[in-house]
Amino acid sequence: MLGIQEAATLLGVTMRTLRFYEDKGLIAPHRSGTMRIYSRREIGRMQLILRGKRLGFSIREIKEFLDLYDVDPEHHEQVRALKDKVAERITDLRKQKHAIEQTLDELVSIERQALAWLDGSPIRPVDD
């Protein structure tokens, strides 16, 4: 059992972050008066939340995963839903990666043309 400051330090987040996820209903620390007490369960949920955020999942998606965890003790539905969301995320990231690579190629080409122009060299057309 940890207080909010200890939980925040352990997780590498701010106390405000913990209160935010509590307000969103993703964690529910026990209360002793006005003091929040974080159990291993809440710390584990926060670790899953932080991992989900790092991987680009929305709060809504993370909440769905956590809700399934509570409903399905065998975790079959949770794992199926996670697999589907991960596949979607991989597809999205691959599209973004391709778009970034195209943009980088175009910027490098423009940079070369600008340098050539500054050096007084003839400018060659951009390669497509």
Give this prediction's pTM. Answer: 0.71
Q: Which CATH architecture has domain 1-56?
A: Orthogonal Bundle (1.10)
Q: How buried is residue 28: exposed, middle or buried, by Cβ count under 10 Å (0-12/13-18/19+)?
A: middle
- Of 25-34, 39-48, 67-76, 105-114, minimum mean pLDDT range: 67-76
Q: Quote the pLDDT of residue 125.
A: 61
Kind and range of the H or E run holding 38:
strand 35-38
What percent of the chain shows pLDDT beyond 90? 70
Q: Could you tell me if 28 and 22 are in contact, meaning their C-beta atoms sit under 8 angstroms apart?
A: yes
Task: State how far the Cα of 82 lies from the Cα of 35, in Å rounded to an integer.
Answer: 33
- Eight-state DSSP code of residue 26: S
Q: Quote the pLDDT of residue 77.
A: 80
